[in-house]
Amino acid sequence: MKGVIYIGSSDTNIKSLFVDDNIVNNRYVINKDNYIFEIIINNNTCICKRLDLNKGWEIELLIEANIKNNYYDSNIIPVFFINLEKDKDRLIFIRNILNNIFNNKYVYRIEGVKHNIGLEGCRLAHINAHISAINKGFNYYIITEDDIKPLIDSENINKYIEKSILFKPDLVLFEQGEKLEGKIQLKKINDNMYRIEGGGNNAGCYLCSKKFGIELIKHWIKSPGRHIDHSWQDLWKSNNVYFHRPQLFQQREGYSNQSDVYYRNTIKPFDWQLYEKNQLQMEGYSNQKEVYYRNTNSFDCGLYEKNREKSYYISNILLTILKIYSNYYFYIFLLLLIVIIILFIIRKNIFKNN
């Protein structure tokens, strides 16, 4: 029996991913140097043999042993929540929330990744969450962060999730960012499922398929320095991505582990009435005498998100600089530099006058 171990990154924060032969070819590039390995799983032992170079020798690597033995009922939807070791209060809170909604046997904690740049830690943690879910053999699973809370009762949450899976989605967002009612582009499929065609963000709580999870892992590994809820939009046009109505969860207030945000207020739920009002205003007959009909106002969501990513990236650089130099000696150095510049200007003017 053969399978594949996909690593895809030299970053030690990223775990190895196992997928079966139906998804990825037997021979696969698994590191940045393009070395090709064959994976053989036998008697609960995974052997990794290098095929492409140095024919006179081979390396063997013991990797996870019991991956193929995991079989789960297809009706089970597991939940993987991300939590940093330091956030003990959030761990207690999110376990209580999730255990009251889902089968606690299938609620798993994913160790958050501590990083100097918050968005990088977030990216790596979400990659590991998907890897863990796929390694356990689930076809659909929920990824959530540890600062969400439900907006409706647990019984209806489970019913909505079960109905969502009937559409065979790649991704379903169960929460959303603020002030997107005039920016997000949605196509109504039914009363609960809206296909996202542009805009929208937040990765606080979402349902994902195994197939799309593998695509996200590959994409996020190649997208350092970008917020994951921006970069994953690159894949939306070619996949079935939905926003659920009603919104099932929202992000609660509290301190943030993002380096560009220190504290967040409770994220207001998506305002569907405002969204529908905006849709009516964007296209339809005009009451203005000089305008008989108004076309939909175009809003380039892709450009908006790219510009926002740039601003986040610049702010992270500035924050890093401030953290490094915000000390007593830096201000002394700055003061001396200003004095030297002033003296140089004065001296230059004296020479000119003479």
pLDDT tens digits for range 207-241: 999 999 999 998 998 888 899 989 999 998 899 99
Cα 235–chain centre separation: 12
Does residue 192 sit in the same domain as residue 118?
yes
Handedness of CA 62, 109, 239, 313 (dihedral sign): negative
Domain range for 13? 2-66
309-344 burial, b at 16+ Cβ within 10 Å, e below that, comes to beebbeebeebeeeeeeeeeeeeeeeeeeeeeeeee
Residue where a domain terminates, one of 228, 258, 277 = 277
Does residue 315 sit in the same domain as residue 249?
no
Q: What share of the chain is helix, strand, coil (3-state, %, to 5)?
A: 35, 20, 40
Does residue 256 sit in the same domain as residue 349?
no
| Beta-strand pair 185-188/193-198 | antiparallel
38 domain-assigned:
yes
Closest CA to 130 of 121, 119, 139: 139
| Beta-strand pair 107-111/79-83 | parallel
Does residue 54 sit in the same domain as residue 89?
no
Task: Render pLDDT for 26-35 as a digit per residue (tens, 0 to 9).
Answer: 334 444 455 5
Does residue 60 sit in the same domain as residue 77?
no
Does residue 116 sit in the same domain as residue 34?
no
282 domain-assigned:
no
C-alpha distances in Å from residue 173, one per residue of 135, 180, 213, 238, 331: 22, 14, 14, 16, 47
Helical H segments across the chain, by residue range: 88-101, 118-135, 154-165, 210-221, 228-231, 272-282, 301-325, 328-353
CB 140, CB 113: distance < 8 Å = no
- Structure tokens, 77: 């939807």
Does residue 62 sit in the same domain as residue 121?
no
300 domain-assigned:
no
238 domain-assigned:
yes
Length of the chain: 354
| Number of structural domains found in the chain | 3
CB 264, CB 253: distance < 8 Å = yes
60-78 burial, b at 16+ Cβ within 10 Å, e below that, comes to eeeeeeebeeeeeeeeebb
pLDDT exceeds 60 at position 79 = yes
Q: What is the pLDDT of residue 10?
A: 46
Cis peptide bond upstream of 246, omega within 30:
yes
264 domain-assigned:
yes
Residue where a domain terminates, one of 237, 255, 277 = 277
pLDDT exceeds 70 at position 324 = no
Instruction: Give the number of other CB atoms < 10 A from CB of residue 288.
Output: 8
Residue where a domain terminates, one of 229, 259, 277 = 277
Has this prediction a pTM greater than 0.75? no
Does residue 43 sit in the same domain as residue 74?
no
Does residue 57 sit in the same domain as residue 92?
no
Task: Render pLDDT for 104-119 as a digit per residue (tens, 0 to 9).
Answer: 999 999 999 988 888 8
124 domain-assigned:
yes
Closest CA to 28 of 45, 48, 10, 14: 48
287 domain-assigned:
no
Distance CA(250)–CA(270), nearest Å, equals 9
Does residue 124 sit in the same domain as residue 21?
no
Does residue 59 sit in the same domain as residue 103?
no
Does residue 80 sit in the same domain as residue 222?
yes
Q: What is the pLDDT of residue 2?
A: 39
Distance CA(108)–CA(5), nearest Å, equals 22
Distance CA(196)–CA(188), nearest Å, equals 9
Q: What is the pLDDT of residue 254?
A: 66
| SS3 at position 104 | helix
pLDDT exceeds 70 at position 55 = no
Instruction: Give the number of other CB atoms < 10 A from CB of residue 140.
Output: 22
Q: What is the pLDDT of residue 322?
A: 55
